Chains A and B, each alone.
Chain A
């Protein structure tokens, strides 16, 4: 799958109308300069040569060099930006699952009650909100008016922990620096809420549908007949069984999470992959754009493999 995606991205970026060299140098650049630039980027060679060249470099972990700011290797730049995105997606996933699964379970349990309709409407409504606008509204309320939380960046710049993982939450704990841990969490709250809440709507609906199926089954009735508390039945018996399809959906929704992360990062000046991609687009740094997109593709593929493996582990009937 990743190979097909790579080929498509390559084709889209190379064959689509729009000449990167013209865009970089402007329409009025002399022909000789254009030719030279083409040669330097290697895009004057036949398409298939470029393609295989790119593939081989990719296998060696070489994404080429950036066109701006000292022409650093793109792979290095991406590794610098990725931890920020990872931290944001993990934070959002926590919000998304907590809110989505809880509302979905409640909605199924109180089927056709006002709560159910209310929560289902919430699911549709929250999914219709433009994610970046929701982020701005939160910024306005909690950052500008109430001044509770910061609205930009990952951490107070003076508190940046030195560390190996690049995840500031973990790095600051490893360094034993409580101040920077608190600062990281403060910066993380609003972006995670933004992304997590918007995507939680899908999980509300998904949990609801699965729970409705499960709540009708005999073992739930049996658990009730044994006199177990309703909360135990709902969360320990039913939800556990509804969780497998939900888990698969996390894998499928990961792409959506990444797309949302791009918009969230831009809104919160979060220095992750999304900001990197958008920044490089504004500088017309085409190798970097391509590298970032390829990296996103690899990430999606990796997550889908990981979810398959967890799935097989959770459900013993599935063997690959």
Chain B
């Protein structure tokens, strides 16, 4: 558990929580480490180049093509391995973007209050209420395909998630005695905001981050499934699934099964990690 950077060690060591929660987090972490190492190892362990024809089309899984070949005779196993790269890249960029923008806006909006806070909250609440995927679809459709465009489209959708969470926490923390004490001692606003308030929000942020990556991967897969993602021939799970769909009535099950399972594993990994961390980091919830 040492590798969980960003979480103060004392939070993990304070009291070892019993129960399924720890196993959840560990299971999630194991799944993720496996998939992420596969991503880095893809160039070495993939048997074929994922974007060129390596054999006859639509071959079922065999010893030569472990997961079969697709409609263009490309190796499904290699494409599935390389597909992790796009999914993880896009979700990392978008989550980074939205968490930074959302956190900064949430911190300042919550701390300063007043009119600005009201306007920001109203806008963020409206975006939050709107179906995220549909907003991402609209933005992605306007901006055109591509890795960065897709990341931005997804990032916009999740900014309110961070904003609302951070703002709520700031409002709570702002009234705490230790913050008042710091203010009485003459600490600067920026010091209070970052050293006192933000430091105490960090654990919640980590949980939301982890759950958000899971969501972002699903959204990325959805967008590329709808043809709004990375242009072909780059291996991408969502896009490969949409191609596999056309061949589904023919019973070519291997084209859809494996990219789908990969998405499921990655999303599950982040969800489990987030759930586990949530229960570990917020002891109040554990009493339920």
Contact = CB atoms under 8 A, between A and B. Distances in A.
B256 A256 contact: no
Contact of B123 (A4, A16, A139, A282): A4
A267 B245 contact: yes
A182 to B, nearest CB: 22
A256 B218 CA distance: 13
A5 interface: yes
A1 B129 contact: yes
Contacts of A293: 134-135, 138
Interface in A240-266: 255-256, 258-260, 262-263, 266
A116 B264 CA distance: 22
Interface in B245-288: 245, 248-249, 251, 253, 256-257, 259-260, 263-264, 267-268, 271-272, 275, 288
B222 A296 contact: no
A296 B249 CA distance: 32
Contacts of B135: 12, 293
Contacts of B225: 130, 132, 263, 266
Contacts of A136: 241, 244-245, 248, 256, 260
B125 A144 contact: no
B58 interface: no
A175 interface: no
Interface residues of B, number: 49
Interface in B83-139: 122-123, 125-127, 129-135, 137-139
Interface residues of A, number: 52
Contact of B143 (A17, A277, A282): A17
A9 interface: yes
B81 interface: no
A210 to B, nearest CB: 11
B117 to A, nearest CB: 15
Contacts of A94: none
B122 A4 contact: yes
Contact of A263 (B222, B244, B253): B222
Which of B138, B141, B244, B245 has most chain A Cβ within 10 Å? Answer: B141
Q: Which of B126, B249, B275 has the most CB of A within 10 A?
A: B126
Contacts of A124: 268, 271-272, 275
A300 B272 CA distance: 30
Interface in B206-242: 214, 218, 221-222, 225-228, 238, 241
B142 A296 contact: no
B164 to A, nearest CB: 13
A14 B103 CA distance: 26
22 contacts: A1-B125, A1-B126, A5-B130, A12-B135, A17-B143, A130-B241, A130-B260, A130-B263, A131-B222, A133-B221, A136-B241, A137-B257, A139-B248, A140-B251, A255-B130, A255-B132, A260-B133, A263-B225, A277-B137, A281-B141, A281-B228, A300-B131
Interface of B: 20, 122-123, 125-127, 129-135, 137-139, 141-144, 156, 214, 218, 221-222, 225-228, 238, 241, 244-245, 248-249, 251, 253, 256-257, 259-260, 263-264, 267-268, 271-272, 275, 288
